[in-house]
Amino acid sequence: MVVGVASSRRRRGPVEWLISGGTLIGLAIPSFWLGTLLILFFAVRLGWLPSSGDDGWKAIVLPVVALTLHPASVIARLVRANMREVSGSAWVRTAQSKGLSPWVIRWRHMLPNAVMPAMGYVGLHAAGLIGGTIVIESVFAWPGVGRMALQGALARDIPVIHAFVVYSAVLVVAINLVVDLLAAAIDPRLRVGREVAYATR
């Protein structure tokens, strides 16, 4: 989100080109291949981080990067596009005419309007993110729920598969519920619409 706001400030500048290229790479690279590249570079060549296991906080850095780079790139590009779209609105020009600082206009007025499509993407991508943990945990040999589900599927352990499906369904519902509550808290139009609907009954 911060990356999207930063890249929307200046067009055709070095920061915009760098962020655009980084997010484009994040969209293009599959998570399992990215995980392999991270292991080869940071674990094998540099030796900074462990390549597998759950030995402390360092072991979770590479799996988290490999799992979240793609959705983070999509969110950054969505926020950037919507920030540029709302920048030409009349209420933005009104805020500028009142003498508000660019920081206040960007973060307190423009971002709440530009972040709504990105929040919708988070809710829609929740199931894919949970499914991606199966691949990432297998690549990094992380003893998590996704790897356990994969081992259960290979062993035809039906109770484990059922438990993973129920766990995933509950987690997706919970994430979408949190996203809806955050959207109502950020956008007052959603709350006003609900209050009007209740008043007309």
The pLDDT tens digits of the residues spanning 139-165 come to 888 888 888 888 888 888 888 888 888
Which pLDDT tens digit goes with each residue over 29-59? Answer: 888 888 889 888 888 888 888 877 777 778 8
Alpha-helical regions (H) of 39-187: 61-86, 90-97, 102-104, 111-114, 116-139, 145-154, 158-186
Please count the CA atoms within 13 angstroms of the CA of 21 that sit on its side-chain side: 7
d(CA 88, CA 69): 30
Average pLDDT of the chain is 78
d(CA 132, CA 146): 8
CATH of 2-199, one of 3.30.70.20, 1.10.760.10, 1.10.3720.10, 2.60.120.260: 1.10.3720.10
Domain boundaries, the chain: 2-199
